[in-house]
């Protein structure tokens, strides 16, 4: 199936120039790449996907919610989708991760995914109807998961509420950015046991497009300028968009710069109207050849795709 690219940038209203550390000119497909199916675990909403690249195959771990439940419930479950071109996906019928423990009773949500030495590390949000907790699971095959439970059950901020863990695996201490009001950072020697820093590394900015909340997007990546973290944000009117920040490569808690406007924001009907209006929310990023493929939720109902050419020499290594 041929899909038409949006002719304007992913943010048609962008006025500033892009900094050297984020030279990515994003365009987005005019139509969703995934939408709710007629029946099944993703028949009401499908959105906010994790992504990984396995040879020529792009794999998505998708969050689905079913029409078989009341719309006020929307229990999250995670299922798989595969593509050989990064655009047209075939979805599996049944989810591979479903609520199991009491702290997951109302959903497993918003996955982020990395693969290291044949093991997949999944961060996801568990929700019990009252509190969201950042959790971890591992798998050798994306189907059979070992759950480690909440990573920070006694996190002191926001009544132990934690979400959105984006991991950068690297030699020595691994790094994870997390949070959904401000953004914190944690480190680990083994990718399963994490220790967080007591102060946020990025704070919200009043009277801006990120005045209500900010939270990490897909796993960060290392460039010759430093660590780039794509993150999502919302303003006081609850309009979500996507932007980016730069951290020091050796001191990953040290914020060097951040964009002054979003590079991705709702502009298409299916991004503006849905289960939650005015939302673009990115969680999955892969590189195919010389292009980034950024997968995002549109209005908490569909999955969209933004693409950008990666300049030669931009990425470290």
**In what helix (H) or strand (E) does residue 257 lie, and over which residues does it extend?**
strand 255-258
Element (DSSP H or E) covering residue 177: strand 174-178
269 three-class SS: helix
Which residue matches tokens 């968009």?
Answer: 241
Cα 253 from chain centre: 20
pLDDT tens digits for range 43-79: 999 999 999 999 999 999 999 999 999 888 889 999 9
Distance CA 125, CA 128 (A): 10
Please answer whether residues 71 and 125 qualify as being in contact, where contact means their C-beta atoms are separated by less than 8 angstroms.
no
Q: For residue 203, what is the DSSP state?
A: -
Residue 193 covered by a domain: yes
Q: Structural domain of residue 115, as residue ranges?
A: 32-200+271-309
| pLDDT score of 167 | 98
pLDDT value at residue 11? 73
pLDDT, average across residues 251-277: 97
CA dist., res. 70 & res. 141, Å (int): 32
Buried residues in 54-69 as b, exposed as e (16+ CB within 10 A):
eeeebbbbbbbbbbee
User: Is residue 56 a part of any domain in this protein?
Assistant: yes
The answer to whether residue 296 sits within a structural domain is yes
**Backbone phi and psi for residue 175, each to the nearest 5 degrees, phi listed first:** -125, 140
Structural domain includes residue 240: no
Name the pTM for this structure.
Answer: 0.95
Does the structure show a pLDDT above 70 at 184? yes
Instruction: Flag whether 99 is in a domain.
Output: yes
- Whether 25 contacts 307, CB under 8 Å: no
CATH of the domain at 82: 2.115.10.20
Domain count within the chain: 1
pLDDT of residue 13: 65
When pLDDT is cut at 50, 70 and 90, the band that residue 9 belongs to is: low
Categorize the per-residue pLDDT at 1 as very low, low, confident or very high, splitting at 50, 70 and 90: very low
Domain membership flag for residue 137? yes
In this prediction, residue 280 has a pLDDT band, given cuts at 50, 70 and 90, of: very high
Parallel, antiparallel or unpaired: strands 90-91 and 221-223: unpaired
> What mean pLDDT is predicted for residues 177-197?
96
C-alpha separations of 55 from 50, 139, 182, 286, 289 in Å: 17, 18, 35, 11, 11
User: Does any domain span residue 213?
Assistant: no
Gyration radius of the chain over CA positions: 18
Q: Is 241 contained in some domain?
A: no
Average pLDDT across the chain, whole number: 93
Cα–Cα dist 208/204, whole Å: 9
DSSP state of 97: B
């Amino acid at each position: 199936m041929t899909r038409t690219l949006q002719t304007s940038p992913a943010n048609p209203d962008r006025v500033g120039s892009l900094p050297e550390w984020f030279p990515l000119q994003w365009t987005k497909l005019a139509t969703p790449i995934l939408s709710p199916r007629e029946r099944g675990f993703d028949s009401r909403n499908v959105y906010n996907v994790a992504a990984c690249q396995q040879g020529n195959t792009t794999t998505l771990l998708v969050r689905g919610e079913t029409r078989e439940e009341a719309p006020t419930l929307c229990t999250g479950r995670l299922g798989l989708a595969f593509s050989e071109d990064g655009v047209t996906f075939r979805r599996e019928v049944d989810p591979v991760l479903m609520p199991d423990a009491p702290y997951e009773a109302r959903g497993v949500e918003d996955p982020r995914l990395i693969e290291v030495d044949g093991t997949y590390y999944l961060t996801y949000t568990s929700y019990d109807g009252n509190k969201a907790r950042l959790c971890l699971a591992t798998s050798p095959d994306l189907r059979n998961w070992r759950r480690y439970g909440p990573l920070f059950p006694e996190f002191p901020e926001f009544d132990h509420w934690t979400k959105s863990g984006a991991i950068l695996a690297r030699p020595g201490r691994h790094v994870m950015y997390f949070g959904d009001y401000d953004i914190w950072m944690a480190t680990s020697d083994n990718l399963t046991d994490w220790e967080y820093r007591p102060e946020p590394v990025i704070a919200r900015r009043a009277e801006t497009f990120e005045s209500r909340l900010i939270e990490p997007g897909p796993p960060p990546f290392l460039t010759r300028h430093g660590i780039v973290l794509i993150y999502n944000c919302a303003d006081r009117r609850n309009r979500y968009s996507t932007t980016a920040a730069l951290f020091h490569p050796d001191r990953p808690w040290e914020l060097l710069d951040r964009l002054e406007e979003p590079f991705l924001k709702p502009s298409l009907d299916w991004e503006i109207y849905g289960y939650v209006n005015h939302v673009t929310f990115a969680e999955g990023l892969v590189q195919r050849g010389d292009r980034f493929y950024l997968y995002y939720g549109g209005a908490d109902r569909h999955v969209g795709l933004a693409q950008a050419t990666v300049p030669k020499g931009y990425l470290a290594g």
